A and B are shown apart, each in its own frame.
Chain A
Amino acid sequence: MEILTGNELMSGATVYLDRDGHWVEGLQQARVFLKEEAEARDAAIAATKKTMRINSLEIETVTLRDGVIHPDRIRERIRAEGPTAPRFDRQHLDKDGHVSI
């Protein structure tokens, strides 16, 4: 299973593509693409690239446990939550930082 993630242009904040085509802050809102949804995933990537507003666009593999998304890589878990030490809140989107496809 996969999700799409990237960093929003203005703030650099970590964002995820949700089910409605919005790029949002919450990992748990991310749209999970199944193996057979590769076409939809690639279409979403292409549409995102057109916005020119999401950088470092990546496909991340995740596992769903009890409906909760767990990124497989520790890097992604840290990206989702913010630095662990010193503990800082993650970067948030500015008012004009909302991107949709």
Chain B
Amino acid sequence: MYRYDEFDAAFVRERTAQFRDQVNRRLSGEINEDQFRPLRLMNGLYLQLHAYMFRIAIPYGTLRSKQLRKLAYLARTYDRGYGHFTTRTNIQFNWPKLRDIPDMMEHLNEVEMHAIQTSGNCIRNISTDQFAGAAADEIIDPRPVAEILRQWSSLHPEFSYLPRKFKIAMIGAPSDRAAIKFHDIGLKAVTNDAGEIGWEVWVGGGLGRTPMIAKLIRGYVAHTDLLAYCEAIVRVYNRYGRRDNKFKARIKILVHEAGIDKIREEVEAEFAQTKGGVLTLPQAELDRITTYFAAPDFERVNATQIDVLREKELDPAYGDWLERNLHSHRQPGYVSVTISLKPVGGAPGDATDEQMEAIANLAENYSFDELRVTHEQNLVLPHVRVSDLREVYDTLVENGLATGNAGLITDMIACPGLDFCSLANARSIPLAQEISRKFQDPQRQRDIGDLKIKISGCINACGHHHVGHIGILGVEKKGTELYQISVGGDGTEKAAIGDILGHGFVADDVPDAIERLVETYIARRESADEPFIAAYRRLGDAPFKEALYGAQ
């Protein structure tokens, strides 16, 4: 993992001291809220419905044990004993007090963390594959380049006041586990004709009020040129992006309105100016950063076949967990383990301080001190020896973290919604809880198979509802919460935006509506091997509409 050098360390310390002074000035009345708000937002401090919310950056979702332990400490000392992992692989605390924030920042700095650029119209946390550096299907570990992009985009003087926020995601494998086509810039590792690895660049994707699938802007950009190329894109956006209307200010609208060919032309012209200049990434620097992400010292062990069926016979819960929560590793004898933060009836993405401590210990003892946060609001131990799985599982059981539901119907994304968020129209978490209770039977979940439900409490779509196989969007109508259901969204390389099937449902009716969709799928699927999303693509929306609204 990347380690701060003395410049990084000095910088975050100075920023914390500066913010402490700003807080003091606000408390003493020297500056008012209008003056203070942009300062606190630059440091990840929001004011929500009930209290402040402090959002801490977890760059490309990678954490060391020490860092997770520190987050546990902050949860225990300054909050209410838990934290909420978000779809941008950050963590949020929902109850801090204003005067404690500088102390919290100081604690974060001690473990090379901060909250800078977790808000505002700047380049936000770069997200990537939770299995980066471990996945068997990976062409390249995207994290060194993600780190270089992080450094480039941190406090970039030209890009601190963009028309709107700007999000970059990257993936080093053919399977898109980072939803790159729904980001302002999506980067996918590819190999050119000469066999060299570089980046395919997608631009103008996004969710929110106007969901758009990104368009391919360039088929190949070498590592050396990536910063210059990204700079060209953001510069074109900064120049032409709309500042007159917040709802039309994202780059997706610019790409949509101007057309990808025009944007490409502009970007290429800009790139021609910047290419070969100061933003050229020297191989030596890439190599230097890459050393931080060197593969751990794996033990040489033979590939181990896990006999899931046998384990299921012996201990069904363990067998289910093995079946669902492991991901193939490139190193024989190792796997990546998904730790589900979606227990039945729980709040998706929440972890208590004790759970964070337990997971940090697991990472230290069984995963070379490494952890990942997924955009689906789970955690991952990236490098676990197959022979250690039982011990890892037993510890997870002790800490209420052994739900074997990764990728199943109860592994839902849900944003904080109207229980916390000041922008919300409707609640998300109670709905997720009800749906997970309805489908809690593990056997039934496995019969249903892969199915992603994603819930947002407003059109901003932090819960990625547009790309849920089943998406749920909360709206407010005449003082009550109403939920629109869409079907057919997909955040992977087969990117698709879900279709809204009809009028909304009141909260109490949503779990039954979801059940009717699921039953329709089960009745109409070709076999148990045809997942929900494939069946939807084959069948179209008619049977699902009928399931919700009756024959038209």
Contacts and interface: CB of A to CB of B under 8 A. Distances in A.
The dominant DSSP class at the A interface is loop
Interface in B400-433: 418-420, 422, 424, 426-427, 429-430, 433
A90 B80 CA distance: 11
B98 A74 contact: no
B99 A10 contact: yes
Contacts of B430: 84-85
Contact of A79 (B49, B52, B95): B49
Interface in A64-82: 72-75, 78-79, 82
Contacts of B27: 9-10
A21 B48 CA distance: 24
B479 interface: yes
Given A14-B50, A86-B347, A91 B29 contact: no
Contact of A12 (B97, B426, B433, B481): B97
B50 A52 contact: no
Interface residues of B, number: 32
A3 to B, nearest CB: 16
A94 B95 CA distance: 13
B51 interface: yes
B347 A14 contact: no
Contact of B418 (A9, A11, A75): A75
A13 B479 contact: no
B51 A73 contact: no
Interface string B496-530: 00000000000000000000000000000000000
Interface in A1-16: 7, 9-14
A86 B428 CA distance: 11
A29 interface: no
Interface in A46-74: 52, 55-56, 72-74
Contact of B32 (A52, A72, A85, A94): A52
B51 A85 contact: no
Contact of A75 (B49, B95, B98, B433): B49
A9 B98 CA distance: 7
B52 A12 contact: yes
B407 to A, nearest CB: 24
B431 to A, nearest CB: 9
A84 B49 CA distance: 12
Nearest to B97: A11
Contact of A11 (B32, B98, B419, B422): B98
B26 A9 contact: yes
Interface in B17-40: 26-27, 29, 32-33
Nearest to B80: A88
B434 to A, nearest CB: 9
A83 interface: yes
B350 A86 contact: yes
Contact of A91 (B32, B51, B422, B429): B51
A79 B33 CA distance: 21
Contact of A85 (B49, B347, B479): B347
A85 B418 CA distance: 10
> By CB atoms of chain A within 10 A, which of B29, B33, B420, B430 has the most?
B33
B50 A91 contact: yes
A78 B49 contact: yes
A74 B347 contact: no
Contacts of A14: 49-50
Interface in B224-272: none
Contacts of A52: 29, 32-33
Nearest to B26: A9
A74 B50 contact: no
Given A72-B479, A74-B476, A56 B422 contact: yes
A55 B47 contact: yes
A74 to B, nearest CB: 6
B305 interface: no
Nearest to A53: B29
Given A12-B50, A13-B51, A83-B50, A78 B418 contact: yes
A96 to B, nearest CB: 9
A94 B97 contact: yes
A4 B213 CA distance: 43
Contacts of A72: 479
B94 to A, nearest CB: 8
B40 to A, nearest CB: 10
Nearest to A49: B32
B76 to A, nearest CB: 15
B480 interface: yes
Nearest to B429: A85
A85 B427 contact: yes
A59 B309 CA distance: 61
Interface in B301-353: 347, 350
A7 B47 CA distance: 8
A72 B430 CA distance: 21
A9 B26 CA distance: 9
Most buried by B among A9, A55, A56, A85: A85
Interface of B: 26-27, 29, 32-33, 47-52, 80, 95, 97-99, 347, 350, 418-420, 422, 424, 426-427, 429-430, 433, 476, 479-481
Q: Which 3 A-B pairs have the closest CB atoms?
A: A83-B419, A12-B51, A85-B430
Given A13-B50, A14-B50, 6 more contacts: A12-B50, A12-B51, A83-B50, A84-B419, A85-B347, A85-B433
6 contacts: A7-B47, A9-B33, A11-B51, A14-B50, A56-B47, A78-B418
